[in-house]
Each structure stands twice: as C-alpha cells, then as structure tokens.
Amino acid sequence: MTRHFQKIDLPVWQVRRYLEPGPIVLVSSTWKGRRNIMTMGWHTIMEFSPSLVGCIISSANHSFEMVRQSRACVINLPTTALTDEVIGIGNCSGAEIDKFDHFGLTADKAKKVNAPLIRECYANFECRLADDSLVDKYNFFIWEVVKAQVAVSPKHPQTLHYTGDGVFMVSGKIISRRRQFLPEML
Amino acid sequence: MTRHFQKIDLPVWQVRRYLEPGPIVLVSSTWKGRRNIMTMGWHTIMEFSPSLVGCIISSANHSFEMVRQSRACVINLPTTALTDEVIGIGNCSGAEIDKFDHFGLTADKAKKVNAPLIRECYANFECRLADDSLVDKYNFFIWEVVKAQVAVSPKHPQTLHYTGDGVFMVSGKIISRRRQFLPEML
C-alpha cells in the first residue's frame, strides 16, 4: 500500500519547493530511547540559507519534549498513499504506543541528526533546532534543515493540505509561469 | 476577468481553513498616504484564539516599513483568476508605482485596521501586529487576525501554491475524512 521511493539529495535551500505549498507533514523524533511521529500542518519556510523552517508543535503533544530536549527532528513529506496513516498518527499519542510499529512505518537512521526518518515518505528533511526563543510563548520552533532527500519520481508528489474539520485539499495541477517572472523574483 | 465576490463574516479562529493549505497571498498596507500590495508565500497559522498568523516579509520589500510602522495589514486570498496579478505584483516595487491602480484592483476600506483590502480577492483577513520580536533577526511578523471576510461561493476556492522557479501548484480535489478523526483532533 505504501511506496518505497528511490531518493536523491536535494540542496537544503530548495526545501521550499516542497514545503511552501503547505502540505501536511509528519515530524519524527527520538529522546531517551523512545521515538515518535506527529502530524503537523502549521509550518512555514523562513529563509533559504541557512535553510530555516518555523513550525508550531503544541506542548500538548508527546513530541514536544522530545524535540525540545533532543533539539532535532525529521520533517517527512507524506503523499496521499499515506492518508490513513497521517490521520491515524494524529489521532493517537506516542505516550501509549510506538507509532512506527503501530502504523507499519520504517524508521531509518538520519544522516546528520539524531532522529529517525520515515522511509515511506516522499521526502525527508533533517532538522536541527536553530532558535527556541518563541517556544515558551507560542510553541514555535525554528529549525535549520541540514540534510534533505527527495524521491526521484514523481516530480510533483500528490500531497495533502489540511483545511480543518476532517477535510483535505489534494495538490492539483501544476502550471509554469516562469517566463512571466523577473529572474530575481523566482 | 477578475471577480467581485459576495462575502460574509468568518469567525477569526477559522482562518486556518484558508491559510493552512499554503496558498500564495497578497498583503496590502498603507502608511503616510502611500499604499502597497506584495505577493507573499511564507506564512503559517500559529494559534486559533487569539487568531495568530506568522509570516516573513523581507526588509527588501517596499511593504516592510509600511507594515512595521503602521502595525497593520490585510492578508488577501487571491484565486487563479488573479494569477497574472499575483506574478505582476511580485515583479515590481511599490516604491515606483501604485499597484492598486496599475493592476486595476479595488482598495476597499478595512473594518478594523488601517489598511486597504483588495475587493477582487476571495477572502480578506484584517491583521494587527501582535509581536515584532523576531522582525529584526528573521523578518518574521506575528499578526493577530481581528476581522475575517470570505466569499460565499465557491466553497473551495481555486488557490495558487508556489513551489519556486515560476511554478505553481493549483489546489485540487477536496476529500473529507471527517469520520476517521477523533473529534478533538479535527
């Protein structure tokens, strides 16, 4: 049911290609011998270089202390093939179950950070905590992506975009307007 | 070519419905008798209540000082009907032209903040600057949405999601998985 993608390295400044359109993502982490996955939809690119991503991870989540203490995570990009897993992972807590085992996902070792990555996802962005100054006030984490790997194909993955109330928008057609852009505005 | 939508009020905590899927937006503002619009794609919902949205507005943009000084803006949601305007607005600077005039867009008075809203957009989210503590370091603004209006129809607007390099993903099909969600996870 889920696919195993062949992946290649992506320059980290190009992660905007996959995160800027607003997909739901899966955040994986580990701390003190435990590991976890959470579903996350509140994130934004903040800078190309260093490659920064800001996101909200609520203190109500089991992953909150894991990522705060380990100062690492992997942001994994699921496609519609993992829709059931995306919802299921959001429905339960890592305090009670191991979500990799429960959902049949493969934890691979990340290359540059101490966190597991999810093999079945289209892309894996390894992150180090760059700034925790807004964590106490807003649960807002600023990550630096230090390693990025993406699937070779399809070129445009079918991603899930959450709108609340149990409803997702699925990524649609691709249009190129490259010739209309000033080069410095691309 | 552009449409004028009939709009209704939306509870501000529901703006995630339109912003969480990651659309490109148009940010409008005014300061000292000048007004401007910029195209913006790096934003995230941060909280339901107060309704907070974080976004990057580069100091290289003419809008930067306008929103910083006026501490107000409107986040407008364009549909694919405004694709040419979205690109054109990103290609030029408000230091040289009035973008409302140049692109034939209508500046309506916002209800709660001192900033013009764009009538031709599907939705208008009036924002007050809630936190500027990360502006110097990251150009990151945290806004509180204090008033939200959205079009009555279509229920699911066709939005633009930028992937860099002149390429957009257009919002695709809508799938409801409401019955799979735990109620508190919606």
For B67-91, how does the pLDDT look when each residue is reduced to its tens digit (9 = 90+)? 999 999 999 999 999 999 999 999 9
Asked if A169 lies within 8 A of B162 by C-beta distance, the reply is no
Supply φ then ψ for residue B69, to 5 degrees. Answer: -80, -45
Q: Do A164 and B16 touch (CB under 8 A)?
A: yes
Chain mean pLDDT for chain B:
96
Q: How near does any CA of chain A get to the CA of B127, in Å? A: 18
Q: Residues B79, B1: contact at Cβ < 8 Å?
A: no
Q: Determine, for residues B163 and A87 on separate chains, whether the beta-carbon distance falls below 8 Å.
A: no
Tens-digit pLDDT profile for residues B6-65: 999 999 999 999 999 999 999 999 999 999 999 999 999 999 999 999 999 999 999 999
Q: What is the reported pTM?
A: 0.97
User: How much is the pLDDT for B1?
Assistant: 46
Instruction: For A65, list phi and psi in degrees, rounded to 5.
Output: -70, -35
**Half-sphere exposure of A11 toward its Cβ, with a 13 Å CA cutoff?**
5
Give chain B positions within 8 Å (CB) of A173. 169-170, 172
Taken in order B146, B151, B157, B158, is the CA torsion positive or negative? negative
Partners of residue B88 in chain A, C-beta under 8 Å = 180
Q: Which ipTM value was assigned to this complex?
A: 0.96
Q: In the numeric block, which tokens belong to residue A74?
A: 């992997």
B21: tokens are: 């899927």
- The shortest C-alpha distance from A60 to chain B (Å) reads 12
Contact between B138 and A142 using a beta-carbon 8 Å cutoff: yes
Task: Encode pLDDT of A160-180 as tens digits.
Answer: 999 999 999 999 999 999 999
Please determine, for residue A1, whether its predicted confidence score (pLDDT) is greater than 80: no
pLDDT tens profile B4-14: 799 999 999 99
What backbone torsions phi and psi does residue A8 show, to the nearest 5 degrees? Answer: -130, 160
Q: How far apart are CA A57 and CA B151, in angstroms?
A: 31
Residues of chain B contacting residue A175, judged by C-beta atoms under 8 Å apart: 83, 167-168, 170
Q: Which of A38, A167, A160, A26 is nearest to A92 (CA)?
A: A38
DSSP-derived 3-state class of residue B75: strand
Answer whether B175 sits within 8 Å of A167, measured CB to CB: yes
Q: Decide if A130 contacts A144 (C-beta within 8 A).
A: yes
Contact B54 A52 (CB under 8 A): no
Give the mean pLDDT of B118-142: 98
